[in-house]
Amino acid sequence: MYCGLAMSRLGLNITEFYQLSPREFFIALKDQQDRERLALQSQIETMWITCRMEIFYAIRISPNIKRKPKKPEDVFDLSFDKKYKKLKGKQEVVKQTSEEIIAAAKGFFGTKSRRRRK
């Protein structure tokens, strides 16, 4: 079961899976789940921002509305607007993907670094 997870979710082959300790495997699996959760959250936020932009421009071109918003944030607030205001002006932190972390770990430990004692 775990070998299938390693192959499908983490992209490891069988020999790489058996070279991992259980702790390393579960850390890599948790990292992959966290990255998928962040990607999904980013997609949801993008959809809400897109929806707000569409409503903003629909209101802007409507001739019947007298008091029109000047910016999209005036249409309605989103729960994550504060997060983007804090990041404005700051340099965004670049995060590694799980594939990059696995590749770095393989480069650091090496695939043939474990020697069997005779």
Six-digit token pair at 4?
């299938």
Average pLDDT, the chain: 78
Task: Please check the confidence at residue 1 and state whether its pLDDT lies above 90.
Answer: no
Contacts made by residues 61-65, CB under 8 angstroms, sequence distance 24+: none
| pLDDT for position 82 | 74
Higher pLDDT: 3 or 54? It is: 54
| pLDDT for position 37 | 93
Query: Cα dihedral angle (19, 25, 27, 30), rounded to 10 degrees?
Result: 150
| pLDDT for position 61 | 87
Six-digit token pair at 17?
């899976």
Q: How large a percentage of the chain has pLDDT more than 90?
A: 6
Query: Is this model's pTM higher than 0.75 or not?
Result: no
